[in-house]
Amino acid sequence: MTAHVSDWKHGEVKEITHLLTNKKVIGIVEIGGIPSPQMQRMRKNLNETETVIRSAKNTLILRALDEAEKKVKGINELKNMVTGQAAIIATDMNPFKLFGHVKATRTMAPAKGGETAAHDIEVKAGDTPFKPGPIVGELQKAGIPAAIQEGKIVIKTDKVLVPAGQKIPANIAQMLTRLEIYPIEIGMTLHGVYENGSIFKSDVLDINIDEFKAKMHQASTYAFNLAIESAWANKLTIKPLLYKAHNHAFILAMERNILTKETVKNLVSKAHGSMLALASSAKDALDEDLKKMIT
Q: For the segment 176-207, what is each residue's pLDDT rounded down to a tens digit?
A: 999 999 998 888 889 999 999 999 998 888 88
Instruction: Give yes or no for a contact between 92 and 24, defined as CB atoms under 8 angstroms apart.
Output: yes
Please report the pLDDT score of residue 120 as a whole number: 92
Q: Can you list the pairs that 70-73 forms with residues at least 24 positions away whose Cβ atoms lie under 8 Å?
A: 71/21, 72/20, 72/21, 72/194, 73/197
Whole-number Cα distances in Å, 158 to 52, 140, 268: 44, 13, 76
Residues 198 and 217 in one domain: no
Distance, CA of 169 to CA of 150 (rounded, Å): 31
Q: Considering the domain boundaries, does residue 113 fall inside one?
A: no
Distance, CA of 105 to CA of 42 (rounded, Å): 6
Residues 163 and 45 in one domain: no
Angle at the Cα of 127 from the Cα atoms of 123 and 132, rounded to 5 degrees: 110
Residues 147 and 193 in one domain: no
Residues 57 and 198 in one domain: yes
Residues 144 and 271 in one domain: no
The secondary structure of residue 127, as a DSSP letter, is E
Q: Considering the domain boundaries, does residue 115 fall inside one?
A: no
Q: Considering the domain boundaries, does residue 195 fall inside one?
A: yes
Please report the pLDDT score of residue 3 as a whole number: 43
Residues 88 and 138 in one domain: no
Distance, CA of 195 to CA of 24 (rounded, Å): 6
DSSP helix/strand/coil, 121: strand
34 DSSP β-pair partners: none
Please report the pLDDT score of residue 103 as a whole number: 87
The DSSP string of 182-218 is --EEES-EEEEEEETTEEEEHHHH---HHHHHHHHHH
Distance, CA of 110 to CA of 207 (rounded, Å): 27
Q: What is the residue range of 51's domain?
A: 2-106+187-206
Residues 223 and 281 in one domain: yes
Q: Considering the domain boundaries, does residue 198 fall inside one?
A: yes
> Number of structural domains, the chain?
3
Whole-number Cα distances in Å, 102 to 23, 150, 190: 17, 46, 7
Whole-number Cα distances in Å, 281 to 148, 288, 290: 86, 15, 12
Element (H, E) at 123: strand 121-123
Residues 57 and 202 in one domain: yes
Distance, CA of 286 to CA of 12 (rounded, Å): 106
φ, ψ of residue 78 to 5 degrees: the values are -70, -15
Residues 17 and 127 in one domain: no
Burial of 98 (0-12, 13-18, 19+ CB in 10 A): buried
Burial of 146 (0-12, 13-18, 19+ CB in 10 A): buried
Q: Which residues of the chain have pLDDT under 50?
A: 1-5
Instruction: Give yes or no for a contact between 28 and 86, defined as CB atoms under 8 angstroms apart.
Output: yes
φ, ψ of residue 28 to 5 degrees: the values are -115, 120
Please report the pLDDT score of residue 285 as a whole number: 63
Which residues are CB-contacts of 83 (< 8 A; sequence separation ≥ 6)? Answer: 30, 58, 191
Which residues are CB-contacts of 211 (< 8 A; sequence separation ≥ 6)? Answer: none
Please report the pLDDT score of residue 275 as a whole number: 77
Residues 129 and 73 in one domain: no
